[in-house]
Structure 1
Amino acid sequence: MKLSICIPVYNFDVRELVLDLKKEIEDNEIDAEIILIDDASEENFKIINSNLQSEVQKFIFLENNIGRSKIRNLFLDYTKGDYLLFLDCDVKIDNTNFLLNYLNEIEKNFWVELIYGNFKIDTLYSKSLRNRYSVEREIFYEERSSDFSLFKTVNFIIKRKIFESFLFDERLRNYGYEDFVFAKLLESNQIKYFAFNNPVIHFDDTSNSAFLKKVDIGIDSLCKLSKDEKSKNFIKDIKVYDTAVKLRKIGVDSLVLFLYNFLNKIIKNNLLSENPSIKYLDIYKLNLLLKKMKAIS
């Protein structure tokens, strides 16, 4: 069984990640290849990572940014593995048996078609809004689970044949919900899945203000998905979307938007502070979505 390690690269130094993976491959004689695709990073990151061209099987540099979904689909054109292991570029390996843990799970559970490995937050950035959200809403803490809602694209392995049949939605170029829609697509087609704790360490130093801009982009993506009948079946379980639909259905969305104006400054100040509240983030996102939905209705 050949393994393809797929790392979409964008504005991050991936040298430590790649060399740690390569060391485990060589130390354990794993049949694996490492493929990097740079999604039009800034020139300084291209220079930093360019030395890796001699360390990996392929390193492709794109002239134009194609986005979070399309770049993952593109790996099918450059890989040979029976299984594809996807890792975000802004992670580091948590233990020296990271690849072996995946391979052992596949060997024991030959029926599995996708495995999600989880992630941790580096303690240096754990108090930021972005990472508090991960700790409270994205990371799972059980040893194992079959809950598809846990899935994130940061660290997962998938059978090539499955991925060839079920791709990421390439309309989702920017931040937000591409992992949720992909998971729902797989779940609706009864893909055999489980999650287990084989985490990578996520290094995300996004400031609170920068994260709020990403949230705006993500809500915009969600709003666009809501206009597509097929996508509605995938996003109906997203809490902020479900709440917004219910508020609009009973006709109180305008009232909620009006009341939010009195809380806007308090909420924004909190979210930009050193002690941000995830509950305030929920309210912030709901306000954004209601505004966008009203604008297009």
Structure 2
Amino acid sequence: MKISVCIPIYNFDVRELVYDLKKEIKNQSIDAEIILIDDASEENFKQINKELNDRVGQFVLLEKNVGRSKIRNLFLKHADGDYLLFLDCDVKIDNENFLTNYLKEIERNRGVEVVYGNFKIDLTYSKTLRNRYSVEKEIFSVDRSSDFSLLKTVNFIIKRDIFKKFPFNEHLVNYGYEDFVFAKTLEFGNVKFSAIQNPVIHVDDTSNEVFLNKTETAISSLYQLYQNSENELFIKDIKVFKVAKKIIKFGLKNVFLNFYSLLETKIKKNLLSENPNLSYLDLFKLGLLLKKIK
């Protein structure tokens, strides 16, 4: 069984990640290739990663940025592994048996088609809003699970034939909810799924201000999905969407928005502070979504 390690790159130095993967591939004699696709990064990052040209299976440079969904689908054209292992570019390997752990899970859990390995937070940035959110809302603590809602695209392996059948939704060009929709698509397709503790370390230094901007983009992506009634099946379980629908159903939208307008400045000030409150982030997202829904 061959693994294609697929790393989409955007404005990040991936040399350490690649060399750590190559070390395990060599030491454990794993049948694996590493494929890099750069999504039109800034020139300085292209130059930094240039030394990897002859040290990976393929290194593809895109002239125009295609976004988080389409770039992942592009790996099907370049990778020839039986399983595709997707890693975000801003991660580090935490275990010298990282690839081996995935291989063991596939061997042990016969018929498994998608395995998610979880992630940790680099302690240097653990207090930021983005990483507090990850710790409380995204990282799971159990040893293993078959719950598709745990799936995040930062670190997962998928059978090639399954990925061909259920690719990412390329209508989601911007940041936000592409992993949720992808997971739901796999779940509805009755794909056999496993989540295990085989984490990478996520090195995310996103400032609170940048994360709030990304949150606005994510809510815009959610609203884009909402505008097509066929997507409601995929998004109906998203917490902020469920709450917004209930508020609208009971005719309380204007009441909430009037209340929110009184607190909005205080909420943003807290979220930009050194001690952000995640409950305020929930209100911030809800306010954004309700403002968009007519």
1:174-197 CA-to-partner distances (Å, cap 9, x unmatched) read 110000000000001110001000
Q: Partners in 1 of 2:291 and 2:230 — Cα distance?
A: 23
In 2: Cα distance, 1:256 partner to 1:189 partner: 37
Give the structure 1 partner of residue 255 of structure 2.
255
The answer for the alignment partner of 2:52 in structure 1 is: 52
| Alignment partner, residue 68 of structure 1 | 68
- Superposition map of 1:83-232 within 5 A: 83-232=83-232
Equivalent position of 2:19 in the other structure: 19
Structure 1 residues 240-282: Cα deviation after superposition (integer angstroms, max 9, x where no partner): 0011011111111111111111111111110000000110000
Write out the 4+ residue segments of structure 1 that deviate beyond 6 Å after TM superposition.
Answer: none
| Deviation digits for residues 35-83 of structure 1 (CA, Å, limit 9, x no counterpart) | 0000000000000001101110100000000000000000000000000
Partners of 1:4 and 1:252 lie apart in 2 by: 50
Counterparts of 1:228 and 1:109, CA distance in 2:
37
CA distance in 2, matches of 1:161, 1:201: 28
Match of 2:234 in 1: 234
> What's the secondary structure of 2:293's corresponding residue?
helix
Counterpart in the other structure of 2:43 = 43
Partner Cα distance (1:75, 1:264) in 2: 42
Give the 3-state SS of the residue equivalent to 1:36 in structure 2. strand
The equivalent of 1:266 in structure 2 is 266
Which whole-Å CA distance do the structure 2 matches of 1:231 and 1:167 have between them? 16
Find the counterpart in structure 2 of residue 34 from structure 1. Answer: 34
Q: TM-score, normalised by structure 2?
A: 0.99
Note the C-alpha offset of 1:110.
2.3
Task: Determine helix, strand or coil for the equivalent of 1:102.
Answer: helix
3-state SS, counterpart of residue 54 of structure 1: coil
What secondary structure, in the 3-state scheme, does the structure 1 residue paired with 2:4 have?
A: strand
Give the secondary structure class of the aligned counterpart of 2:53: helix
Q: Deviations over 1:79-103 (max 9, x none)?
A: 0000000000000000100000000
Q: Which moves more between the two structures, 69-78 or 102-111?
A: 102-111
- State the identity %: 65
Cα shift readout 1:133-167 (whole Å, capped 9, x = no counterpart): 00000000111111110000000000000000001
Q: For this pair of structures, how many residues does the alignment match? A: 294
RMSD over equivalenced CA pairs, Å: 0.5
- Mapped to 2, the partners of 1:61 and 1:274 lie a distance apart of 38
Partner SS for 1:72: helix
Task: Report SS of the residue matched to 2:279.
Answer: helix
Aligned to 1:290: 290
Mark the runs of 5 or more structure 2 residues left unpaired by the alignment.
none
The SS at the match of 1:186 is helix
- CA distance, structure 2, for counterparts of residue 80 and residue 277 of structure 1: 45
Matched, 1:246 2:246: yes
Deviation track 1:200-228 (CA, whole Å, cap 9, x = no partner) reads 00000000000000000000000010011
Equivalent position SS for 1:217 = helix
Q: 2:57 & 2:193 partners in 1: Cα distance?
A: 28
Question: CA–CA distance in 1 between the matches of 2:13 and 2:241?
Answer: 35
Amino acid at match of 1:120: K
Give the letter aligned to residue 33 of structure 2: E
Kindly provide the amino acid, as one letter, of the partner of residue 82 in structure 1.
D
Structure 2 CA distance for aligned equivalents of residues 230 and 116 of structure 1: 27
